[in-house]
Every structure is written in C-alpha cells, then in structure tokens.
A and B are shown apart, each in its own frame.
Chain A
Amino acid sequence: MRKIEVVQGILDANDATAEGNRATFDANGCLAVNIMASPGAGKTSFILRTIEGLSRDTRIAVIEGDMASTVDAEKVQGAASAVVQINTKGMPESCALVADMVHVALSRLPLDQLDVVLIENVGNLLCPAEFNLGEHLRIVVSSTPEGDDKPIKYPLIFADADAVVINKSDLLPYVDFDMDRFTQEVRNLNPRVRFFPLSCKTGEGVAEWVAWLHDQRPSG
C-alpha cells in the first residue's frame, strides 16, 4: 500500500470548460450574465424586463436552464434575438447549469451577432453557486416574499454576486421584508455588491438596473 498526493479540485474540469466559454464570449464581444434565483423569484419576468429595457441598441440571446419544459423559452422567444433551451432533467446535474451545458448552448447561438447573453440558471440558491459557467456577471434575483433571511441561509451565492436584484418591490407593504436588514446581510458577505430593488410587475426601478447593465458591456 502506498500513498499518492493528489490535491486536485473536483470542479477543475468544470472550471476549465468555463474558462473556454469565457474566451468564446470575449472573442465575440458578448457580455455573459448568469442569473440565479429561487424558483418563483421572477427570473423570467426579470429577463423580459431587461430585454425590453436594453433592446433598442442591443442584440440579446437567452440561454434557459430548467429541469424540464420549454415554458420559459416560449415566454422569451418573441423578445430576444435568439433563445436556447437546456433541459437539465436526466443530465448529470439537474439542479444547476454547469459549464459544459453552456458550452453546448453556445454552439447554437450566432455569437458574432450578439451583444449580451442572459443565462437563466435553474431555480435554486444552493447548487448554481458552485458552478462557474464562464460568465462575466453573476446576478442573484431575490424577491421580497421570500424573506430577508436568504443571505444568512445561502451565503455563498450572495458572497459571489456582482449585483443583487430585489424583485417584487411593489409587495413591500404587504410582506415582512426588512430591506435594511437584507442589504446589510449581503454587504457583510460582499461589500462591492450593487443592489437593485425593482418590480417587474410595475416596472419601478428597472431603468436603474438596465442602465447599470448597459455600462457593463465591453463597449460601455
């Protein structure tokens, strides 16, 4: 019996594929945005609002990740320049997108004709945090009815976010969501994060988010 030192990360293969995806996005001048949230936080409505806000001068594609169905892809079909649906059911990971799935999706997108790729991750606050997809921005969409304790329960996803969107701001008068507590909890983990309270239903606050996202594009 002998011992072999290994010290090799189990996610190294995923990270290498993610690096490749990142290089592909960069070569085509595309901004890649990984959108993560719980089920029902409003990811798809948020994507529709984002496309609506950006689209005058921006060509946008959406990669939809879901356990099953093409419901979300159908919703964004008319709005985006291109949509690719990935159903994760039956795949090695069904709870999150992994870099390889995005790699496959990229081969089905006209990247040279796109400015922004929005990646809608599988609804889940735990697993998507672990997998790098090669994105430029990691966005967490939280919503007021979910409660203000999510950053305490799922620290990793908030610690790595570039921006946190607080959706369903129109429901603030009806739910017990302490905005100051929530933003403080996230800042404790991540002092550089940006917050965008907004309502995809009323459109309130969407303009601020869209303006920020627009400024993140390689061309500015």
Chain B
Amino acid sequence: MHEYGITESLLHIVEEKAKEAGATRVATIRVVVGALTGFVPDCIQFYYETMSKGTVAEGAALEFEELPVTLRCRKCAEVFVPESRVWVCPKCDSTEVDIEGGRELYIKEMEVS
C-alpha cells in the first residue's frame, strides 16, 4: 500500500547515482527487500514503469532480492531463520528472540552505461 512513495524515493536515488556516475542509461537496479517489511515488489514494479518514463532510468530492469527473517536467540545466541510464524529457537526451544534481519530496504547496486 505504501509502494508509491517508496518507488519515488527509489527513483530519486537512482537518478542521483546515475548522474554522479555520468551514466546515460540505467539497465538494471538491484533492490534488497527484507521479508518483514510489507513491501510488494510487483507493486513497486508497477509504479516504477510509469514514474521512470522520460528519466535516465526508463526501462531499467528491477531485480529484487528478498532477505529472509533472521532471528537471534536471546538465551543461546543462535542465529536462525524461523521455519514458521512461530518464532522458536531450533537449538534451545526458547521463544525469546531479537530480530537480526528482515527489515532491509535498500538499493544494492545498479548497472549503467
């Protein structure tokens, strides 16, 4: 639901980076999205196609890399990817965990010419 503004920010960063690099065309944009965020890649793609028209990044391929939720057990420090929505440490069965990964939302790299 909030992908419009996200796409706007993304395009803004892409245009800035392309300019810094003296690029005339952006071919690929790799975006990393954590599984805990509510962002829907298809939705970003949809807005992107309209928004990027007429920019240096028009027609660029958006590639999404989804990072899983990773948790750290507070009892035994095990870092794990939960198997279900119930977050239990596979090593010691504790349910007390900290979120290590899964909140990411960043542009990793771009291919330009």
A-to-B contact residues, CB < 8 Å: 1-14, 92-96, 98, 124, 126-127, 129-131, 152-153, 155-156, 159, 184, 187-189, 191
- Majority secondary structure, A binding face: mixed
Question: With A156-B36, A191-B96 as given contacts, are A3 and B1 in contact (CB-CB < 8 Å)?
Answer: no
Contacts A2-B112, A4-B112, A156-B36 given: A127-B1 contact, CB under 8 Å?
yes
Chain A residue numbers with a CB within 8 Å of B99 are 155, 159, 189
Sampled A-B contacts (20; CB under 8 Å): A4-B21, A4-B110, A4-B111, A5-B109, A6-B13, A8-B13, A9-B105, A10-B9, A92-B8, A98-B5, A126-B1, A127-B1, A130-B2, A130-B38, A155-B87, A156-B36, A156-B103, A188-B87, A188-B96, A189-B99
Given contacts A2-B112, A8-B107, is CB(A13)–CB(B21) below 8 Å?
Answer: no
In this assembly, does B55 line the interface, its C-beta being within 8 Å of a C-beta of chain A?
A: no
Do most interface residues of chain B lie in helix, strand or loop, or is the interface mixed?
mixed
Residues of B within 8 A of A (CB): 1-2, 4-6, 8-10, 12-13, 17, 21, 23, 27, 31, 36-38, 74, 85-87, 95-97, 99, 103, 105-113
A130 to B37, Cβ gap below 8 A?
yes
Contacts of A92 in B (CB 8 A): 4-5, 8
Considering the complex, give the chain B residue whose CB is closest to the CB of A184: B95
Closest 10 pairs (CB-CB, A-B): A92-B5, A95-B1, A6-B107, A126-B38, A188-B95, A93-B5, A127-B2, A9-B106, A93-B2, A10-B9
